[in-house]
Structure 1
Amino acid sequence: MIKETVTMSHKELDRLHIIQESLNRHITQEQAAARIGISIRQVKRLVQRYRNEGPSGLVSRRRGKRPNNSFSTEFRATVISLLKGRYADFGPTLACEKLREIHGLCLSIETLRKWMVEEGIWRERRRKFARIYQRRMRRPSYGELIQIDGSPHDWFEGRGPKCTLIVFIDDATSALMALRFAPAETTRAYMETLRGYLNDHGVPLALYSDRHSIFRVNNPEREGELTQFTRAIKTLGIEPIHANSPQAKGRVERANQTLQDRLVKEMRLQGISDIETANAWLPTFIEAYNNRFATPPRIADNAHLDVHHSEEELGYIFSLQAKRVLSKNLTFQYKSSAFQIRSEGRGYRLRHSVVTVCESFNGEIKVLYDGKALGWEKYVDGPEPIPLDDEKSVHERVDNARFDLRSKFYVKPKADHPWLTRRTQSNQQVKPPKLPRKKTDPDKMD
C-alpha cells in the first residue's frame, strides 16, 4: 500500500485535530467553529471534505496558485520603467505618492520598496546607533512655540544658484508655518520671513532658534546686548529661546532633512530653478506638506495674538536700528556720513537727545525720536564701511568672488579663430589660462 505524504501548515494541522475531535464527538461542531474562528456552515464543509478526501481535503486549495490581488507582469514593468527613468533617486514613499498622483498607478509602499530592492534601485539602510536624548513633550497649543532654522543646500540641483531655505515650523503640530528662499542665512532673510508669518498667522508666543549670531550676541564683552532680530521680536512681544544643541530643536532639523529630499524633487518636477519662482510656489507646497505630515494639537486652541502695530511701525521694527546722540548742532554720525536734524520751532530741546536711526533693507533711512520721524539732511558722504560676515554668509561671498575670477579669464574667440575651425562646436568657451605659480628659490628652502 502506497502512503501519501500531505504537506500542511501549522494552522491546517490545528484544523485537522479539531475536525477529528468533532468527528469523534469529543466536541460539538459549534465548539469547533468557535475554536477555529469560522462559521458552523464552514465547519460542516470541512467535515464533508475530510470524509471524502482525508487530511488532504483540509489543505488550502489556493496553494501554489497566483494570488488574486497580485499585480500583472505588465504593471510591474511599467512601474519599474518609470522608477528607472523619472524617479531614479526617489525614495519608496515619495515615489509611491507620485506614481499615484501623476500616473494613476496605485500600489502599497512596501510592495514598491520590495520591487526597488529587487531591481537594485533602492538599498536598505542600516539603522545607526543613535544617542538617546531626554524627550521633550510637544507644546499643547498651536502657535505657542515656533522652531526656526536656516537650511543651506543646492535646492535647484545646479539649475539655479545655491541658496538657503528659512524654515518656521510649529512645535505642537509639526506644521510648516513659513518657508522662504534667500541667498544666505541673514538677519534680512529672517525678518522678511517673520513679517510674512505675521500677515498669515499673527504673533506667536515664542521663537525657538539656535545660538547663531543672528539671534544671540556671543561676545562676552557685549553681554546683555540684543541682536537686530532679537530686538525686533521683543518689540513684538515674542519671547526668544535659544537651543543648546541641534537635537533640542529636533523637529525643525528633521523637517530640513525631509525638505532636502521632497522639496528638491517637487521643484524638479515643477521645473522651478530660481528663487523668485520658488517663493511664489511655496504656499502650494506648504499646504500639501501639512495635509500629509501635520498632527492635531493636544489642545484645540490657537495661541497666536493679533498684530497691533501699523504697517509703518512694522517697517521701523523690521529695519536695522542704531542709537545716536545728537550734538548741540543737532548732528550725528552714521556710516561715515554726517546727518543734521531739521529743527522746527525750538530745536534746542533736541540737543544731546538719543535718537534711533532706522535703515530699511532698500537703503531708506528714518530718524525716530520718541516714536516720531524727524526730518534730516545728509552733509558728508564718506566711504562705505566693509561689511562683516559670519560663518554662514561668508560662503556666499567666496562663491561670488570665485565666479568673478573665473569669468574674468574667459575669452570668447572670434568666428575665424583657428581653434574653432578644428572643432564642431562653434560657440565653445576657451578655458581660462592657468595662473603662473610663484617661483621659489631652492637655496632659501629649508
Structure 2
Amino acid sequence: MPSLRRTAVAEARLKPGRAAERLGLSVRQVERLVMRYRDEGAAGLVSRRRGTRSNHQLPQAVLDRALGLIHERYADFGPTLACEKLHECRGLVLSKETVRHLMTDAGVWVPRKQRPPKVYQPRARRACVGELVQIDGSDHRWFDDRAPACTLLGYVDDATRRLMTLHFTGSESTFSYFEATRAYLEHFGKPVALYSDRASVFRGTRAATTGNGVTQFGRAMYELNVDTWCANSSPAKGRVERANLTLQDRFVKELRLRKIDTKEAANAYAPHFIADFYGRFGKEPRSI
C-alpha cells in the first residue's frame, strides 16, 4: 500500500501533503521519493540503508566474547541472569534481549513460546503480609559437586511472593523446621497460618487410623496460636514450589560464583540473596 500511494503522488493523483499524512513521513521526504521514482522507477523507493550495518550494532568481537563466556561459564543460566553476570563479573554491558537472541541462535536457550504449555489453576494472593506463609523443603545438590546434597527450607509469603526465610540443613526434620521457624518469628513475628505439604513433620503418619494427626511441630504452632494447614497436592502450594525451582537455578549459580560450599556459609549469605531476590521479583501486598 505505501508504494501504491507513492506511485499515486508521482502520477499527480494524490497531493504530497495527503500522502505524507498517510505514510507518516514529512512532505519533503515524500517529494524526494517522488523524484527518485521518476528517475529510477520502483527500485528508487527501496531504502538506501538496506544491506548496510546499523549505527547501533555491537562490534562482532564483543558478541563473540559474550557468547564464548556464556558457553564457558553460563551455559545453564537464563538470559536475564546471564546478562546480569556478564555485566557484574565481566564488565560486558549488553541488553537482556541481545543476550536472549545470542543464546537462542546458539541453541543454548529455548524461548518459552517454544516450550510445552503448563496449566496452573489460578488462586488469588492473600491480602496482607503474614496472613499465609507457604513452607517447604527442597533436597538438592545446592553446592554442585563441591559438597554433598542437602536440604533448603524455604518460607514464602503468599501476599508478596517474598522469600521470608531460607535455611540450609541436613534433612527435613522437626528440629530443622523449629530452627527455621524460630528465625522467621524473630525477624517477622507470628504469621496467621503456615501452609505445608503432608510430610510427617506436619501430619502424623497414623492419622488415617487413629484420627489424631497432630505432630510435635503442630503442637508447638498451636501453643503459639499459629494455624497449620496441609496441602493435598504440590500445585496447591504453587508459590513455594515455583520458588524452589527458581532457587535451584539462581541460588545454585550464586553460590557457585561466590565459591560457597558449606551450609553455614550459605546460611550467612542467604539474607543478602533474599534482599536482592525481593527487589527483582517481590510484589506489593494488596492491603497493609
TM-score of the superposed pair, with normalisation by structure 1: 0.60
Residue 240 of structure 2 is aligned with which of 249, 252, 256? 252
Cα offset for 1:225?
4.7
Show the counterpart of 1:265: 253
Cα offset for 1:275?
0.6
Show the counterpart of 2:47: 60
Give the distance between the partners of 2:163 and 2:28, measured in 1 at CA. 55
Matched, 1:204 2:184: no
Unaligned runs of 5+ residues in structure 2 are none
Structure 1 residues 121 and 136: CA distance shift in structure 2, 3 A? closer
- Once the two structures are superposed, the pairs formed by residues 392-407 of structure 1 within 5 Å of their partners are none
Show the counterpart of 1:234: 222
Show the counterpart of 1:223: 211
Give the distance between the partners of 2:258 and 2:120, measured in 1 at CA. 39
Give the distance between the partners of 2:155 and 2:183, measured in 1 at CA. 11
Query: 2:75 is paired with a residue of what secondary structure?
Result: coil
Matched, 1:97 2:97: no
Residue 44 of structure 1 is aligned with which of 22, 31, 40? 31
Residue 78 of structure 2 contacts residue 109 of structure 2 at CA under 8 Å; is this kept in 1? yes
Give the distance between the partners of 1:129 and 1:21, measured in 2 at CA. 48
**Deviations 1:247-289, CA, capped at 9 Å, x for gaps:** 1111111111111111111001001000111101110111111
Matched, 1:172 2:168: no
**Deviations 1:393-414, CA, capped at 9 Å, x for gaps:** xxxxxxxxxxxxxxxxxxxxxx
Show the counterpart of 1:20: 7
Residue 161 of structure 1 contacts residue 274 of structure 1 at CA under 8 Å; is this kept in 2? no
The alignment of Structure 1 onto Structure 2 pairs a total of residues equal to 286
Show the counterpart of 1:146: 133
Query: 1:174 is paired with a residue of what secondary structure?
Result: coil
Show the counterpart of 1:285: 273
- Once the two structures are superposed, the pairs formed by residues 125-140 of structure 1 within 5 Å of their partners are 127-128=115-116, 130=118, 132-140=119-127
Residue 231 of structure 2 contacts residue 237 of structure 2 at CA under 8 Å; is this kept in 1? yes
Residue 176 of structure 1 contacts residue 286 of structure 1 at CA under 8 Å; is this kept in 2? yes
Give the distance between the partners of 1:141 and 1:42, measured in 2 at CA. 58
Show the counterpart of 1:88: 75
Q: Percent same amino acid at aligned positions? A: 49
Cα offset for 1:24?
3.8
**Deviations 1:6-62, CA, capped at 9 Å, x for gaps:** xxxxxxxx2221122234443333321221122333323323333343322211111
Letter in 2 for 1:236: L
Cα offset for 1:134?
3.2
Unaligned runs of 5+ residues in structure 1 are 1-13, 302-446
TM-score of the superposed pair, with normalisation by structure 2: 0.90
Task: From the two aligned structures, give the one with the greater strand fraction.
Answer: 1
**Deviations 1:142-180, CA, capped at 9 Å, x for gaps:** 222111100001111121232100001111221111101
Show the counterpart of 1:325: none
Structure 1 residues 51 and 300: CA distance shift in structure 2, 3 A? farther
Residue 217 of structure 1 contacts residue 223 of structure 1 at CA under 8 Å; is this kept in 2? no
Letter in 2 for 1:44: E
Give the distance between the partners of 1:70 and 1:143, measured in 2 at CA. 48
Give the distance between the partners of 1:62 and 1:222, measured in 2 at CA. 80
Cα offset for 1:120?
4.9
Residue 10 of structure 2 contacts residue 37 of structure 2 at CA under 8 Å; is this kept in 1? no
Structure 1 residues 23 and 123: CA distance shift in structure 2, 3 A? closer
